[in-house]
Amino acid sequence: MMTDPIFYAAAIPAVFLVGLSKGGFGGAMALLGVPLMALAIPPVQAAAILLPILIVMDAVTLWTWRKHWDPATLKIMVPGAVIGITIGWATAAWIADPVIRLIVGCVALWFVARYVQLTLAARRRAEPPAAQGHQPVKGVLWSTLAGFTSFVSHAGGPPYQIYTLPLRQDPKTYTGTSVRFFAIVNAIKLAPYFALGQFDATNLSTSLALAPIAPIATLTGAYFVRRMKPEVFYPFMYAMVFLTSLKLIWDGLQYLMA
């Protein structure tokens, strides 16, 4: 197990922020997990330590949101996620993670800009943005990207949200569905991570030491989401996507300018 106090000074808040996000409190905080831990250890090792903790969080959120989910969303998106994870595994040796973050960040920023445009137009008509129905082709495409980015950098949230937020599901249904989607994704990721040699004794024991933080943070996030009205929840979620996009773009640009 790692004993460096500087590592735990970064890892403890990182795990707590990820737990809040897993509870349904927005994706931007989840993206801070690996970068915060990477202040003290290599990013690949940070991702490997975080994955078992994500599995613990998934167990808590699956129980917390067990009554709320949309089977149609999962039926459309899970196959795409499997494809994306497979692509990520096959290309893990030569894909630069910051480049992927830059691409995803730009797409997410466009997504938020489009939402703002539609919202302003709807306000001029004195009505909220209309909910979109399921579009299976788009769902598979975005979930493939979600599976891929989740595998390479635990950053599958923005592509998932690009497809699901316009559905304007009830906040509880939205959160419960996303919980199931990413629980499935994280479970599938275990085998490739093992195959890549990321789960050694040091990483697994460190994950175990940090795991008790996971349920506390996750339940805290769920507590707040259960009490948020749709008119508050959706603007908040889009704000989180906006912050996420800025963080991803910043990571990518730093890499390209280095």
More confident residue, 108 or 194: 194
Inform me whether the pLDDT recorded for 28 exceeds 60. no
Condensed to tens digits (0 to 9), the pLDDT of residues 42-99 reads 767 888 899 999 999 899 889 989 999 999 999 999 999 999 999 988 887 677 767 7
Give the number of other CB atoms < 10 A from CB of residue 117.
11
Inform me whether the pLDDT recorded for 129 exceeds 70. no
Q: What are phi and psi of 243, to 5 degrees?
A: -65, -40
Cβ burial of 23 (10 Å; 0-12, 13-18, 19+) is buried
How far, in Å, are 40, 52, 72, 200, 206 from residue 4 at the CA level?
9, 20, 46, 17, 11
CA–CA distance, 62 with 251 (Å, rounded to integer): 31
Residue that has been written with the tokens 């330590």 in this structure: 49
CA–CA distance, 144 with 77 (Å, rounded to integer): 8
Condensed to tens digits (0 to 9), the pLDDT of residues 149-181 reads 888 777 788 889 889 989 999 988 998 999 899
Query: What are the structure tokens assigned to 75, written together?
Result: 């039926």
Average pLDDT on 128-145 reads: 89
pLDDT value for 127? 67
Confidence category of residue 211, pLDDT binned at 50, 70, 90? very high
> What is the average pLDDT value for the chain, to the nearest integer?
85
pLDDT value for 53? 93
Confidence category of residue 26, pLDDT binned at 50, 70, 90? low
155 contacts 101 by C-beta, under 8 angstroms: yes
Inform me whether the pLDDT recorded for 32 exceeds 90. no
Select the highest-mean-pLDDT range: 95-104, 149-158, 206-215, 222-231.
206-215
7 contacts 40 by C-beta, under 8 angstroms: yes
Q: Is 206 helix (H, G, I), strand (E, B) or coil?
A: helix
pLDDT value for 25? 64
Report DSSP state, residue 165: G
Query: What are the structure tokens assigned to 249, written together?
Result: 């773009």
Of 29, 27, 35, 24, nearest to 251 by C-alpha is 35
How far, in Å, are 117, 153, 197, 209, 245 from residue 52 at the CA level?
39, 14, 14, 11, 25
More confident residue, 26 or 215: 215
Of 98, 107, 233, 208, nearest to 153 by C-alpha is 98
Query: What are the structure tokens assigned to 71, written together?
Result: 């089977």
Inform me whether the pLDDT recorded for 248 exceeds 80. no
pLDDT value for 31? 65
pLDDT value for 143? 97
Confidence category of residue 112, pLDDT binned at 50, 70, 90? confident
Cβ burial of 169 (10 Å; 0-12, 13-18, 19+) is buried
